[in-house]
A and B are shown apart, each in its own frame.
Chain A
Amino acid sequence: MAASKVKQDMPPPGGYGPIDYRRNLPRRGLSGYSMFGIGVGLMVFGYWRLFRWNRERRRLHIEELEARIALLPLLQAEQDRRTLRMLRENLEEEAVIMKDVPGWKVGENVFHTDRWVSPLTEELYNLRPREEMLRKKFGFLCKEEAVAMETELLRDYRFGRQQLTEMLGHACATAIAKVFPLSSLEKRQPTVLVVCGPDQNGCVGLACARHLRLFEYIPTVFTPKRSSDALHQDLMLQCERMDLPFLSYLPTEVQLINDAYNLVVDAVLGPETDLESVGEPFTGVLQTLRGLKAPIVSLDIPSGWDADESSSDGISPALLVSLMTPKRCALSFPGSHFLAGRFLPYDIQRKYELNLPKFSGTDCVVQL
């Protein structure tokens, strides 16, 4: 082998310098103790602020309570005056009624003691229309008040029937879309059967059907009886022009309805109908609805129920959508209960002492 003149990589003359192979764990930043201390310090600061704010909240709460206490004599005085006035009126009425009864002492104390006994609600409202007593006891709207409120809206507040029907129909459709969204319907097509009576309840049902069509449901309308109401006829025409099919008769075979439709909207009878005057074809329709398995959505009150009392043998809907205010029959309603229609002027709410719940955001329906 000849000596090669290849340049070879050799260590520098004198060898490599010393190599520092010690561990390099630079001590930088805060130490663990100080970080812990900072955390604890922040927490302590937070707690101090929290305790201060809680004390302030307690002071505010006490202020509210004191305001109520300050008002209490005034409110109690008004209530007392009202009670005494009603007792006086009852007394005078009693004198008139019982004037021919021998040996009757008007205003005689029914108790054996002399002390003041607060009168019961039944006693105070004894001679007044039943609605006032019911309103005092329960606060929900009874039939006469619902009718009175609607007349007032139409007359004094100059709302038009078209307006009210449109708003209520839209709100009902929104409630139905909330409770039975398109994705939750089991059948392939989102079919809905809407049964509309001839009165105002039916008009709201027709407006609701039209809006459901716009929300991509496939409603079918059934009107058992032709209506003479011009608004009803206009709404029916609008529904026809929206390509909603109209049934000419309701099959009495309940299974057919169960198979064809996902749910049934009941807009047959409203709170203004007189239950004694309900004849054919409604009784047949109600009979069929009673036997249905598909969920029923009732508008305002379940058809066939009395507006003031809950019924045990009427139809039993899965969802009740009350229009404007809940009616008395909804007190013991077991299913979902929505309130639709967010347009009542504050004056009417105050006058009828409605205490409606708050609607969230821009919704026009709220679940009760």
Chain B
Amino acid sequence: MNHSSNEKEPETIEPLRYLSKTEVATVETELLRDYRFGQQQLIEIWGHACAIAITKAFPLSSLSKKQPTLLVVCGPEQNGSIGLVCARHLRMFEYEPTIFYPKRSPQSLHQDFTVQCEKMDIPFLSYLPTEVQLLNDAYNLVIDAILGPETDLKEVKEPYAGMLVTLKQVKIPIVSVDVPSGWDVDEPAKDGINPEVLISLTAPKKCATGFSGKHFLAGRFLPYDIQKKYELNLPEFPGTECVIEL
């Protein structure tokens, strides 16, 4: 048997790279500064991709209650805005999201997203009931978009600490956006909330290495230069999808 000399070697598949907190911040600054992506653009892409991931993980037909209700808990910063955009897209996909947005951000960008959600007739809760059973009965799942990789864990105070305690006790599945709230970006947490689905934006973070539930990677927009520079080795997205299950 002759092996031809120019037979192509199979490409070694490099493993997916998990980012640490500083690397996440560097990638984002570079996208905004050198690649001139706008913040609005990025948040829109991420929110849309999250919504598609959620429809993949929890299709309309699989929800157990009569109404496809969801609770979206949004924090004050970028992670919260991503949650708002995700809720808006889920409304277009025929789900019925309800938003709980305790502390409105003063930035006009985030306020714009809030107005868009209000005009889509998405109800905003004024307080989160501490009775966990109420949440279990009313909603099919909870989307946690409270804290992202940019928050400093020492500064987490009310009302978020109370919300995290409530979320730890709910029985309905939790879907976390980017990083489960309360977890440190670099290490998996033992006593934080326990989401069933994690949707990593752009690239997975280090704390996802020990994550045991469903893990999606959302956001198919990174220029190839950045991918090569940080050796991200993102997997191939099928077709025209912007979400892939890891």
Answer yes or no: are A and B bound together in one complex. Answer: yes
Residues of A within 8 A of B88 (CB): 343
Does B12 interact with chain A (Cβ within 8 Å)?
Answer: no
Interface assignment of B221: CB less than 8 Å from any CB of chain A:
yes
Complex contact B40–A347 (CB within 8 A): no
> At the interface, yes or no: B165 with Cβ under 8 Å from chain A?
no
User: For B38, what are the chain A residues with a Cβ–Cβ distance below 8 Å?
Assistant: 160, 162, 231, 234
Cβ-based interface call for B186 (8 A): no
Minimal Cβ-Cβ distance residue in B for A163: B44
Is B126 at the interface (CB under 8 A from chain A)?
no
| Residues of A close to B35: CB separation below 8 A | 237-238, 241
In contact, B121 and A162 (Cβ under 8 angstroms): no
At the interface with chain A, which of B110-118, B133-141, B196-204?
A: B110-118
Establish whether residues A166 and B92, one from each chain, have CB atoms under 8 Å apart when the complex forms.
no
Structural contact, B223 and A242, CB atoms closer than 8 A: yes
Q: Does B40 lie within 8 Å of A163, measured CB to CB? A: yes
| B-side contacts of A51, CB under 8 Å | none
Which positions 203-246 of chain B face chain A at CB distance < 8 Å? 220-221, 223-225, 237, 239-240
Smallest CB separation, B240 vs chain A (Å): 5
**Distance A361 CA – B225 CA, assembled complex (angstroms):** 33
Does the CB pair B115–A162 fall under 8 Å? no
Residues of B contacting A158 with CB < 8 Å? 111-113, 115-116
The contact of B224 among A162, A237, A243, by CB within 8 Å, is A243
Question: For the complex, is B36 an interface residue (Cβ under 8 Å from A)?
Answer: yes
Interface size, chain A (Cβ < 8 Å): 35
A237–B36 alpha-carbon span in the complex (Å): 7
A361, B61: Cα distance in complex, Å: 12
Instruction: Tell me, rounded to whole Å, the shortest Cβ–Cβ distance linking A280 to chain B.
Output: 29
* A345 pairs with B119, CB closer than 8 A: yes
Contact B40–A162 (Cβ < 8 Å): yes
Q: Which residue of B lies closest to A215 (CB)?
A: B240
Residues of chain B lying within 8 A (CB to CB) of residue A342? 92
CB < 8 Å: which of A157, A211, A234 contacts B116?
A157
Q: Contact at B36–A347, with CB atoms within 8 Å?
A: no
Chain B hits for A173, CB < 8 A: 240
The proximity string for A residues 318-346 relative to B, scoring 1 for CB distances below 8 Å and 0 otherwise, is 00000000000000000000000011011
Determine chain A's interface SS by DSSP, over half rule: helix
In the complex, how many residues of chain B place their beta carbon closer than 8 angstroms to a beta carbon of chain A?
Answer: 34
Query: Bound complex: CA of A214 vs CA of B238, how far in Å?
Result: 11
**B158 on interface, CB distance cutoff 8 Å:** no
CB-CB under 8 A from B239, the residues of chain A are 177, 215
Assess the B240–A177 pair: CB atoms within 8 A.
yes
In the bound assembly, the distance between CA atoms of A285 and B113 in angstroms comes to 39
Q: Which residues of B contact A177 (CB under 8 A)?
A: 239-240
With A and B bound together, what is the CA distance between A177 and B240 in angstroms? 7
**Distance, CA A116 to CA B220, complexed state (A):** 63
Which residues of the partner chain A approach B223 to less than 8 Å between Cβ atoms? 238, 241-243
A-B contact pairs, 12 of them (CB 8 A): A156-B119, A163-B41, A166-B44, A167-B48, A170-B45, A173-B240, A238-B36, A243-B223, A243-B225, A345-B120, A346-B121, A361-B55
Q: Which residues of B contact A (CB under 8 A)?
A: 34-38, 40-41, 44-45, 48, 51-52, 55, 88-89, 92-93, 109, 111-113, 115-116, 119-121, 220-221, 223-225, 237, 239-240
What is A's interface to B at a CB cutoff of 8 Å? 156-160, 162-163, 165-167, 170, 173-174, 177-178, 210-211, 214-215, 231, 233-234, 237-238, 241-243, 342-343, 345-347, 359, 361-362
Seed contacts A166-B45, A347-B121, A362-B55; 20 additional CB < 8 Å A-B pairs? A158-B116, A159-B116, A160-B38, A165-B41, A166-B41, A170-B45, A174-B240, A178-B240, A211-B221, A214-B220, A215-B240, A234-B37, A237-B35, A241-B223, A241-B225, A242-B224, A342-B92, A345-B120, A346-B121, A362-B52
